[in-house]
Structure 1
Amino acid sequence: MQRPITISILHAAMHGALLTLALAPTAFAEVPRLPTAVAVPDSGKPPLSSATYRGTEYADLKGSGYLEQEFYLQGVAPAITAAGQTLLEAPYTTRMLVRKPADPARFNGTVIIEPFSWFGERAAGWILTRDYLLRHGYAYVGYTLNINKPEVDPKFIAADPAVEADGIAQYGKIVNFDFMRRFDYARYAPLGSYYDARRFTRGDAPDPFVPQSQGIGAQLALLLKSATPGGPLAGLDVKRVYVNSWAVTAQVWMDYLDQGRHQQWRMPDGKPLIDAYMTGRMAYGEVGGDVIRVPRRMPGDAPFVTVYSQSELMHDVLEGIALPADTDTPKLRYYEVIGMPHLRLADLGTQHSERLAADVGKGNDPRCQTLYDEPAELVIAALLDGMDRWVRDGTPMPKAPRVPRQGNSAVRDAATGNLLGGVRPPWIQAPSATYLTDQETACGLIYDTKVAYSRDELRRRYGSYAQYQKAFEDAKARSVREGYLLPEDAKGLHPIAKPQDF
């Protein structure tokens, strides 16, 4: 998530040349250093962010035929500024959490990689796609990008000292390696990466991102594709690596692409280290730096897909930031998903909490009474499946219309109260509520809310529950045809409103 960051937003105009740069895959190509992976000794409890803990990241791994293992990832990686300058090379030790089919025959050849969020070591991509990944035989690798606690933490710097102190008070205990060591000192004491706030800046402030992030990501992809004996995916035939990075860590991959690392760092045979990039729920530049929506050096041999919730699209509307058109060359897709909140209760990391409406003095606001948890993960699973098919057999992903704008406002349908355009899940096509953003309601720091239709409104719109149920089923069928809902998921998607609501 990005909105807890208190660094000032830098406003910048988009440049028309952003889509014109797609460097030749072999231009100035080099093979990154190969890192090493060492199994983390058992400390007597599962690792941080383990899918075996009951909570937001839980999955029945054993029942799905999966193993979970944790490794130290060690190497020497460049430390790169936000402007793309390599200042030095330094050693690092981080950790990766591997989930893979126990039976190599079940592996589909694709590994998903995702940096953990620096808030509570959350794996948003895993949370949104785990059911799909486990059904389809993917391997998953979540990994840590973090720093030791500096004297002044760049994650919380703000012009207003009170705002800075408030951010530290709320989130200071769930960030950096310090948090991980408090969780399990024996396991995470060895972790370390290079950081110097004086030498690495983003915009006018210290860079909150790990300077070695790009090199670590490239080296991880190389390791996973190299079939290293005794490595984390030993025995699996890895053919593809996809990025699936959400919230604040998505900026790492915008930087990686924008600075041309996709073209620079390659496999020994010249093929890409990373075969597709999906990023989501991140308004790039919001934590400082360039406000761009398309990397200036787009890959010519890999899709770049960004998924916006209502909050991200509303951010860009309010800031007057236009989104680019979708293209097949280069492979670019932007999706604005209506009825998808920025953050759900199910998305919180370890020891992570957020302010609710009552905490910000809006507890009695009728727009703030209901958080919503509609299954947006089904849309994300369909998009990931579509990206996979684009890579595997060249079938382009669907193109969704943008949410129409009127100046610095997003256009809502007067009849339903919901936004027009975008990807429209069944609960938007056959609505039973108006879905709002926190930018409009200020109900909580990063939670979005909905206002359910009254019984009279539901009856006026549908007549009866049976008619509403039919409209919802028709909407599901349309979403399947459009490529935003998988047939296997449609079966378990039930109407949002219930018979008693009528």
Structure 2
Amino acid sequence: MSVSRRRAVAAGTGLTLLASALSLPAASAAPDSPDPAVTGPVPATTAVGDPAHGYPFLATDVDLADHGYVEQEFFLSGEATRYDADGASDAEVISTGHEYRTRMVVRRPTDPGAFNGTVITEWYNVSNQWDQEVDWFQTHEHLLREGYAWVGVSAQRAGVHSGTGLRSWSPDRYGSLDLTDGGTVTDDTLSWDVFSQAVGAVREPAGTAPLGPLEAETVVATGHSQSAGRLWSYVNSVDPGGDVVDAVVLHGGGGPLRDAVETPVLKINSETDVAIDLLGAAQRQPDSDTLRTWEVAGASHGDWKLITDYGRLRIRDIGTAPGGYPGTPQTCDEPSGSRVPQHMVQGAAYDHVADWAAGGDAPPSAPAIDLLADGSVDRDDLGLGRGGIRLAAQEVPVRLNSGLNTGPGFCFIDGSSRPVDDATLAAWYPDEEQYVDEVVAVTGAAVEAGYVPADVAADPSWYTDVAELVQDRVESGLVREQVGARIVDRMHRALEAADDGDWNAADRWVRQAHTFAERQVRDDLASASVARSTAAVRGVLALTVDG
């Protein structure tokens, strides 16, 4: 799809084009809406974490300045149109001229030369009755390394008006926000146009520029779970007429696409999503000129990375932890949160989709997760799902990961990750070098296929997984606390070096961790487990350098 797709956004919402494309009668056709007013950056009036909440809700705890980035919040106001957008047909205008005021959060490079030209615009998930930026939590390391800008848009009432929404969370900061036109709109029918106007303000600002000195070349809309469902309706019903975004990533849901959709769409679904047909995830369609579907074996809808990255901020700003957060009571029947790093695949998906939307090659096709006749996932003798995009955590496991779990609340979508004891691991992998070769081969195949980024060793999970493995053995008394602290310290240093692309330094730190595991861990089986895992990280580092 060529860059000509951006032609409509200069009009702000594209409403006139939408009405024309839908051949609506004159009485219901939307007028040419004015550009929305953007104010900001909205200054912080308190420190982050202060109970007065004078800062952006869920303000990131990532050191953005260290990456040459800045976080800013803006208010967006104007008049929006209500749409009936069911995802099965073209949207219809219900009514026009509804006043609104909402917010967007921007995280962007400060140097225009560091910007890759693509804006990842996330539709905030409001399943918990507050704004949640799942796709940022999952992929922010990759976005920062690659020079993306990220924008979060508050498009739905729950995120603003619920008892835990923005207005209640900080009346002083957010009390003026309104997605109901003064209480007259009691559903989310304004959300489609609010999102479109936010994209228009990012791409062609009429006044205050949310991206500052940056100029957006490509806008990719993204959303997870509930937000994927909203974007599914958006791309099926609204965008065919307005031509607002350049591409869409539906993460964790989204049913079939209509033939009318010309916007490139990539669906990325976990094993959970396919197994329970979450929001139509199992309603598969063949790949086409505008559709790719990727399914990640063993991954879960709410995985370990999301639980841990999001949990810190949720505790800070809401006062409660998500289910499965470390150090809190575990309520699911199996340990929560698959460790299969689906976020690696998601990072590659954004890279492919940005290129695709700008006229480059379509993303590669991918194998589907294998399903049995009853719709359940086909599993091997260990209970691991077959088929799909396969990462080393699934193909050469040291934990048994699944997209399924049982128990109260969100257990059914959080998946599971059962530890494997050292004796069993030693029986599975008696030869360290062979284990490393298998991890490198699986990872190299994923890189070659385009399912994970080429700089795969930069991903934090390689290092945090080893640190977690060590900590587990410290708590069980198999590794002395002092020795465990040394190994964990080296893995954290290696992560910092890898994030900077300093592969030699990363390898040096991991090599030290491997030496500590071999020489200072007294329990032979625990020593082998830690040494095996650190050796595998070194193998992935070598793969990245050689690749």
2:166 to 143, 162, 180: 180
Q: 1:458 to 1:197 in 2, by over 3 A?
A: farther
- The structural deviation recorded for 1:374 is 4.2
The alpha-carbon distance between structure 1 residues 251 and 320, as it changes in their structure 2 partners (threshold 3 A), is closer
Q: Say whether residues 1:86 and 2:93 are aligned partners.
A: yes
SS of 2:137's partner is: helix
Q: Structure 1 390/24 Cα, relative in aligned 2: closer, same or farther at 3 Å?
A: farther
Equivalent of 1:389 in 343, 355, 365: 355
Which has the higher mean CA deviation after the structures are superposed, 111-120 or 409-418? 409-418
Which one is further off, 409-418 or 103-112?
Answer: 409-418
Identify the residue that residue 336 of structure 1 maps to in structure 2: 295
1:278 pairs, out of 249, 255, 262, with 249
Alignment correspondent of 1:64: 67
- Aligned-partner SS, 1:387: helix
Matches within 5 A, 1:233-312: 233-259=211-237, 261-265=238-242, 272-282=243-253, 284=254, 293-300=255-262, 302-312=263-273
Measured after TM superposition, the shift of residue 274 of structure 1 is 0.7
Residues 76, 103 of structure 2: 8 Å contact kept: yes
> Secondary structure of 1:377's partner?
helix
Alpha-carbon distance in 1 for matches of 2:110, 2:279: 48
SS of 1:494's equivalent? helix
Pair 117,195 (structure 1): closer, same or farther in 2 beyond 3 Å: farther
Correspondent of 1:111 among 93, 109, 119: 119
Q: Does 1 or 2 have the higher relative contact order (CA < 8 Å, sep 6+)? A: 1
Cα shift at 1:75: 1.1
Structure 1 residues 318 and 141: CA distance shift in structure 2, 3 A: closer
Residue of 141, 144, 147 corresponding to 2:151: 141
Q: % of aligned pairs identical?
A: 23
Tell me the equivalent position of 1:77.
80
Match of 1:44 in 2: 46
Q: Structure 1 CA distance, aligned partners of 2:18 and 2:56?
A: 40
- 1:224-269 C-alpha deviation (Å, 9 max, x unpaired): 121434321242222111112112112221111221x22311xxxx
User: How big is each residue's C-alpha offset from its partner over 1:389-418, in whole Å with a ceiling of 9 and x where there is no partner?
Assistant: 222342121111112222224343434421
The whole-number CA distance in structure 2 between the counterparts of 1:199 and 1:464 is 65
Aligned length in residues: 420
Paired with 2:110 and 2:119, the residues of 1 have a C-alpha distance of: 14
The letter of the residue matching 1:81 is D
* Structure 2: stretches of 5+ with no match in the other structure: 1-16, 24-29, 49-54, 470-524, 530-547
Provide Cα deviations, 1:185-228, integer angstroms capped at 9, x if missing partner. 2110001112899987xxxxxx6xx2111101111111212143
Relative to structure 1, the CA distance from residue 105 to residue 88 in structure 2 (aligned partners, 3 Å threshold; closer, same or farther) is same
Contact 2:83 2:94 in 1 (8 A): yes
- Rounded to whole Å, the distance in 1 between the matches of 2:362 and 2:291 is 10
Contact 1:125/1:246 (<8 A) preserved: yes
What's 2:411 paired with? 444
The structure carrying a bigger helix percent of its residues is 2
* Alpha-carbon contact 2:100-2:179 (below 8 Å) kept: yes
Match 2:373 to one of 383, 407, 420: 407
**Whole-angstrom CA distance in 2 between matches of 1:214 and 1:483:** 32
Secondary structure in 2 aligned to 1:273?
A: coil
Tell me the equivalent position of 2:285. 324
Is the aligned partner of 1:417 residue 2:383? yes
Q: CA deviation at 1:127?
A: 1.0
- Residue 101 of structure 1 corresponds to which residue in structure 2? 109
Look up the match of 2:429.
462
Q: Report the Cα distance in structure 2 between the residues aligned to 1:185 and 1:113, rounded to whole angstroms.
A: 26
| Cα deviation, residue 339, structure 1 | 2.5
- Cα distance in 1, alignment partners of residues 155 and 344 from structure 2: 28
Q: Distance in 1 between matches of 2:74 and 2:330?
A: 45
* Runs of 5+ consecutive residues of structure 1 not aligned to the other structure: 1-22, 53-57, 150-173, 201-206, 266-271, 285-292
8 Å contact 1:78–1:86 — kept in the other structure? yes
User: Is contact 1:433–1:453 with CA below 8 Å preserved after alignment?
Assistant: yes
Cα distance between partner residues in 2 of 1:219 and 1:74: 9
1:190–1:145 CA distance, 2 compared to 1 (3 A): same
Change (3 A) 1:402 1:104: same
1:97 is displaced (CA, Å) by 0.7
Distance in 1 (alpha carbons) for counterparts of 2:111 and 2:149: 11
The alpha carbon displacement at 1:362 in A equals 8.7
CA contact (8 A) 2:339 2:417 kept: no
Q: Please give the alpha-carbon distance, in whole angstroms, between the structure 2 residues aligned to 1:196 and 1:275.
A: 32
Distance 1:238 1:317, change over 3 A: closer
Question: Which amino acid is 1:96 matched to?
Answer: M
Task: Assess, with a 3 A threshold, how the Cα gap between structure 1 residues 106 and 320 changes in structure 2: closer, same or farther.
Answer: closer
1:389–1:429 CA distance, 2 compared to 1 (3 A): farther
Aligned partner of residue 67 in structure 2, secondary structure: coil
Indicate conservation of the 8 Å contact 2:336/2:414, yes or no.
no
Instruction: Give the TM-score, by structure 2 length.
Output: 0.68
The corresponding residue for 1:426 is: 392
Bigger Rg, structure 1 or 2: 2
Distance 1:180 1:364, change over 3 A: closer
* 2:196 maps to 1:218: yes
Matches within 5 A, 1:196-215: 210-215=188-193
- The SS at the match of 2:369 is coil
Local SS of the residue matching 2:227: helix
Two-structure CA RMSD over aligned residues (Å) = 3.5
SS in structure 2 of the partner of residue 79 of structure 1: strand
Calculate the TM-score normalised by the size of structure 1.
0.74
Q: Which amino acid aligns with 2:176?
A: P
Structure 1 CA distance, aligned partners of 2:367 and 2:20? 34
Report the CA distance shift for 1:314/1:468 in structure 2 as closer, same or farther (over 3 A).
same
Distance in 1, matches of 2:119 and 2:19, equals 21
Q: Counterpart in 2 of 1:494?
A: 462
- State the distance in 2 between where 1:113 and 1:363 align: 34
Partner of 1:123: 133
Kindly tell me: are residues 147 and 466 of structure 1, through their superposed partners in 2, closer, same or farther at Cα, counting changes over 3 Å?
same
How far the C-alpha of 1:177 sits from its partner, in A, is 6.7
Distance 1:85 1:199, change over 3 A: farther
| Counterpart residue identity of residue 467, structure 1 | Q
CA displacement at 1:114 relative to structure 2? 0.9
Check conservation: 1:145, 1:213, Cα contact below 8 A: yes
Distance in 2, matches of 1:25 and 1:453, equals 58
Following the alignment from structure 1 to structure 2, what is the Cα–Cα distance between the partners of residues 231 and 199? 29
Q: Which amino acid aligns with 1:223?
A: A
Partner SS, residue 112 of structure 1:
strand
- Cα pair distance change 1:370/1:37, threshold 3 Å: closer
